[in-house]
Amino acid sequence: MPATTTPVLTALAVGTEVATIGTFHLAEVVSSEITERGNRKTILRWTESIPAASVIKNAETVWAQVPGRTPQSIVTTRN
């Protein structure tokens, strides 16, 4: 059986547009870095307001992604 390797994450470019899974709420990357453990830590700024989802335009949130795991909230990116 061939060995599997964990994918290596890279930081997202500042200004990259991202969308959430299912609802496609839009945000943009304010900063992004790879932590000591190899996780991606990204600060996002919402580009729209959706009160029912507690999404407030220009509010910032932290999104973390662990290598080898399916992202739980971000589905797509676009520069």
In a domain, 65, yes or no: yes
pTM: 0.78
- Residue 75 is classified by DSSP as E
Let me know if residue 59 belongs to a domain.
yes
In a domain, 12, yes or no: no
> Assign residue 53 a region: left if phi > 0, alpha if psi is -120 to 50, beta otherwise?
alpha
Q: Is residue 2 part of a domain?
A: no
Short-list 57, 63, 49, 51, CA closest to 21: 63
Q: Cβ(78)–Cβ(17) under 8 Å?
A: yes
In the chain, how many domains are there? 1
Q: What does the pLDDT profile of the chain (79 residues) look like in tens digits?
A: 566 676 788 999 999 998 887 777 889 999 999 999 999 999 999 999 988 888 899 999 998 888 888 776 666 666 6
